[in-house]
Amino acid sequence: MSDAARHEALIDALGAELTPVRRLLPPWRRALGWLLVVSAIAAVLFMRYGASTMLHRWDALPDLGVGACAGAITAITAALASFVLAVPGRSLRWAWLPVPSALLWIGASGLGCLRLHLPGVPLVDIHATDDCLVFIVSYSLPLSALMIWLIRRACPLRPVVTAVMIGLASAAASASLLEICHSYDATASDLFVHATAVAIVVAVNTLMGGRLLSRA
Amino acid sequence: MAAAQAGDQRAYTRVLNDSVALIRAVARRQGVAVDALDDVVQETLLTVHRVRHTYDPSRSYDAWLAAIAARRAIDILRSHGRREQREVHDEFAFDTHADRDDASAGAERAEEAQRLRKAIKTLSPGQREAVEQLGLKERSLAEAAAQTGRNTGALKVNLHRALKTLRDRLHGES
C-alpha cells in the first residue's frame, strides 16, 4: 500500500467513525469557571474570618494590599494563560501575561519585610509560618488538580509551560485566600515560607502536571 | 472543519485530505527525514480526530493544524533519536555470524512484518491504539488505560476486535 493510499484508508476510517462534538468553550469562559470556584472558597473564608483584619493591615501598610491585589491578578492572568495555552495554535507569548503582576506581587511582598513593623499587629513566629506553608500547599493541590482536569479536555501541546502556569495560578490563588485569614505582619521568614510554598506548588505541577497533560 | 465538528463526514474527509500537504510541509520544516514524513501525517491525523473539538471556527484552521503537526513531528524526531541511541550497529558481528536461515526466509519474514505493519495502520484508531499499546509497546492494561484515557474493558474489546480483523485480513491476502 503506498503512503497516499495509507492516508486515504486512515482518513476514510476516521470519517466513518465521525460523531458530532461539543466545541470547547472559549478559554476566558473556562478560566472564569475555575475562578468562580476560587471565589466561592474566598466567600466561605470571608464569612468565617470577616474582612476587618485584612482591611486593617492593608490600611496601615498599603504595600501589603498592593502585594495581595497583585497576587490575585496573578491568579487571574495565570489561569487565563493556562487555558489559552492549552488550545493548539495559540501563541506562546500568552505565557508572559502573568509576569508583570507576578513581579509586582513578589516585589511588594519583598518590600513589606524591609520596612518597620506595624505596631499592634503580632509578628509571625516560626510555627505560624508552618501553618502558612500547609495552607498554601493544601489549597493549591485541589485547585491545581481541578485545573489539570479541566485543561485535559483541551489539547495542551506544550505541557510543561501550561503546567507552570497552572502551578502559578493555583499558588497565587491560595496565597490570596491566605491573605483573608492571615493576621500577621510580613516578616522575612514569613515571606520566605510563602515563596517556598509557591515554589513547591509550581515545581510539583511542572513535574506531575507536565506528565498528566502530555497525553495530548 | 466547523462542519465536521457538527458531524458532516464529507466535509471532514475533504478537510483531512487537504490537510496532508500542510502537515508534510510543517514536518519538513521541523527537520523530519523524508521517509518519516508519512508517519507524522498519520499521527497528526489521529490527533486531529481526537482533539477536533478544540478547533475554534473563528480562528485560523491552518495555525491550529500546524501546531498539532509540529508537535507530532517533534515526537517522531525524539522517538527516532531514542531508537538510534538504544540500537547499536556492530559490523564485526554482522560479518562473522552467519544467518541462521537462508536469505529467502529472512526476506519472507520481512515481507510478513511489512504486511502486518500495513494491516495495523489501516485499523480503526481505537483498535490501532489497543494494538500499539498492548501488543507493540507491551504495556500492561493499567498502563495502557492511563496512557490512552480509555478504560481497560474498552481496550480489551478493541484489542480483541483488532486481532480478529488482522487475522481475517492477513489470511484473506495469503
Residue A36 lies in a domain: yes
Chain B residue numbers with beta carbons less than 8 Å from the beta carbon of A14 are: 12-13, 16, 45-46, 49, 125
Is the pLDDT confidence value at B91 over 80? no
The residues on A that touch B, with CB distances below 8 Å, are 1, 3, 6-24, 26, 87-90, 154-155, 157, 215-216
Radius of gyration of chain B (CA): 19
Region at B149 (left for phi over 0; alpha for psi -120 to 50; beta for the rest): left
Residue A83 lies in a domain: yes
Is the pLDDT confidence value at B131 over 90? no
Task: Please report, in tens digits, the pLDDT of each residue of chain A (216 residues total).
Answer: 567 777 888 888 888 888 888 998 999 999 999 999 999 999 998 888 888 878 887 877 777 788 889 999 999 999 999 999 999 999 999 999 999 999 998 888 777 666 555 555 555 555 556 677 788 888 888 998 899 899 988 888 888 889 889 989 998 998 888 888 776 655 566 667 777 878 888 888 777 766 777 655
> pLDDT tens across B17-69, in order?
999 999 999 999 988 888 888 889 988 999 999 999 999 999 999 999 999 99
| Chain A contact for B9 (CB, 8 A cutoff) | yes
Residue A62 lies in a domain: yes
pLDDT value for B78 = 86
Q: CA B111 to CA B63: how far, in whole Å?
A: 39
Give A122's DSSP letter: P
Measured between its terminal Cα atoms, the distance across chain A in Å is 29
Facing residue for B6 by CB, picked from A20, A89, A155: A20
| Chain A contact for B122 (CB, 8 A cutoff) | yes
The total number of structural domains that make up chain A: 1
CB contact under 8 A, A155 and B6: no
What is the helix (H) or strand (E) element at residue B74, kind and residue range? helix B61-86
| Chain A contact for B15 (CB, 8 A cutoff) | no
Residue A8 lies in a domain: no
CB contact under 8 A, B122 and A14: no
CB contact under 8 A, A6 and B16: no
Helices (H), ranges, chain A: 3-16, 27-49, 52-60, 62-85, 99-112, 126-151, 159-180, 188-204, 210-213
Facing residue for B20 by CB, picked from A7, A12, A19: A7
What domain range is A57 assigned to?
26-213
Residue A6 lies in a domain: no
Residue A35 lies in a domain: yes
CB contact under 8 A, A14 and B16: yes
Query: Is residue A27 a contact partner of residue B139, using CB atoms and an 8 Å limit?
Result: no
Q: What domains are defined for chain B?
A: 2-86 (1.10.1740.10), 106-173 (1.10.10.10)
Q: Which residue has the cell 480526530?
A: B49
* DSSP codes of every residue in A95-111: GGTTHHHHHHHHHHHHH
The residue length of chain A stands at 216
Q: CA A91 to CA B26: how far, in whole Å?
A: 17
Nearest CA in chain A to B6: A20
pLDDT value for A146 = 92
What is the value of pTM for the model shown?
0.70
How many alpha carbons lie under 13 Å from residue B33 in its C-beta half-sphere?
A: 8
Buried b (16+ CB within 10 A) or exposed e, A31-49: bbebbeebeebbeebeeee
Is the pLDDT confidence value at B145 over 70? yes
- ipTM of the predicted structure? 0.77
Residue A19 lies in a domain: no
Query: Is residue A186 a contact partner of residue A112, using CB atoms and an 8 Å limit?
Result: yes
Residue A202 lies in a domain: yes
pLDDT value for A184 = 60
Chain A residue numbers with beta carbons less than 8 Å from the beta carbon of B59 are: 89
